[in-house]
Amino acid sequence: MKMKRASIQRTTKSLLNMRDQIRFDLPFQRNSVWKKDRRSYLIESMIQNWYIPNILVWDNGDGYVWVIDGRQRWESTFFFQDGLYKLSNGTADFNGERLAGKKCAELSSDAQFEFLTYNFTVTEFRDCTFEQVEELFYRVNQSVPLTSTEKTRVKVAADVRDAVQATAQHVFFEKLAFTEADRVRYVDEQLIWQFVAVVMEQDIDFGGASLGRFISSLNEISATVLDEVENRIDYLYGAFRNWDGKERKSLKKVHVGSLFQVVETARKEQWSVDQFGQWAKSFLIDRYTTDSPYGQLCQKGATSKGFASKRIGFMVKDMEQYPLQMELNMNT
pLDDT in tens, 130-140: 888 888 887 77
Q: Of 102, 128, 143, which marks where a domain is finished?
A: 143
pLDDT at 300: 64
* Residue 330 pLDDT: 44
Tell me, what's the pLDDT at 184? 58
Both 214 and 171 in one domain: the answer is: yes
CB 90 within 8 A of CB 39: no
Nearest-angstrom CA–CA distance, 120 and 290: 51
- 304 with 231, same domain: the answer is yes
Helix or strand run (H / E) with residue 100: none
Which residues, including other chains, have CB under 8 Å from residue 22's CB and lie 6 or more apart? 15, 64, 65, 67, 74
- Residue 21: per-residue pLDDT: 94
Specify whether 304 is located in the same domain as 321. yes
Residues 137 and 227 in one domain: no
Domain that holds residue 215: 148-331
Shared domain check, 286 and 222: yes
Specify the number of domains making up the chain: 2
- AA identity, residue 16: L
Query: What dihedral angle (degrees, nearest 10) is formed by the CA atoms of 202, 165, 15, 130?
Result: 50
- Tell whether 127 and 110 lie within a shared domain: yes
At 190, the amino acid letter reads Q
153 & 192 share domain: yes
* pLDDT computed for residue 252 by the predictor: 86
Question: Quick count: other Cβ atoms within 10 Å of Cβ 71?
Answer: 21
Contacts of 217 (CB under 8 A, 6+ apart): none
- Running along the chain, 332 residues long, what does each successive block of 10 average in pLDDT? 88 95 83 82 95 93 92 94 92 93 96 97 92 81 58 68 82 78 69 91 78 82 93 93 89 90 94 94 91 82 77 93 63 47
- Decide which of 100, 118, 143 is a domain's last residue: 143
Question: SS3 for 194?
Answer: helix
Q: At what angle do helices 109-117 and 36-47 cross, to 10 degrees?
A: 90
Shared-domain flag, residues 102 and 134: yes
